[in-house]
Structure 1
Amino acid sequence: MSFSAELRGRTGVTWGAAVGHRFVDELWRGAAEPEVLRAYFVQDNQFLDAFVALMGAAVAAADRPESRIVLARQLGLIAGPENDFFARAMDALDVPLPDRVTPQLAEATRGFLELMDRARVSADYATCLAVLLVAEWLYLDWADHPDADTPRDWIASEWIELHRGPAFAGWVEFLRAEFDRVTAVLDDTSREQVASVFTRAVELELDFFDAAYQA
Structure 2
Amino acid sequence: MSFSAELRSRTAVAWDAAVGHRFVDELWRGAAEPPVLRAYFVQDNQFFDAFVALLGAAVAAADQPESRIVLARQLGLIAGPENDFFARTMDALDVPLPDRVTPQLSDATRGFLELMDQARLSADYATCLTVLLVAEWLYLDWADRPGADTPRGWIPSEWIELHRGPAFARWVDFLRADFDRVTAVLDDAGRDQVASVFTRAVELELGFFDAAYKT
Q: Deviations over 1:44-63 (max 9, x none)?
A: 00000000000000000000
Distance across 1 between alignment mates of 2:16 and 2:65: 35
Give the corresponding residue for 1:127: 127
Tell me the amino acid that sits aligned with residue 65 of structure 2: P
TM-score (norm 1): 1.00
Give the corresponding residue for 1:46: 46
Q: Does the residue aligned with 1:149 lie in a helix, a strand or coil? A: coil
Structure 1: where are the runs of 5+ without partners?
none
User: What is the number of residues matched between the two proteins?
Assistant: 215
Counterpart mapping for 1:116-195 below 5 A: 116-195=116-195
Q: Deviations over 1:141-198 (max 9, x none)?
A: 0000121000001000000000000000000000000000000000001000000000
Q: Does the residue aligned with 2:57 lie in a helix, a strand or coil? A: helix
Give the corresponding residue for 1:8: 8
Distance across 2 between alignment mates of 1:47 and 1:79: 12
Identity %: 87
Give the corresponding residue for 2:72: 72
Structure 2: where are the runs of 5+ without partners?
none
Q: Deviations over 1:66-87 (max 9, x none)?
A: 1000000000111110000000
Distance across 2 between alignment mates of 1:109 and 1:14: 17
Distance across 1 between alignment mates of 2:110 and 2:60: 25
Distance across 2 between alignment mates of 1:7 and 1:20: 18
Give the corresponding residue for 2:100: 100
TM-score (norm 2): 1.00
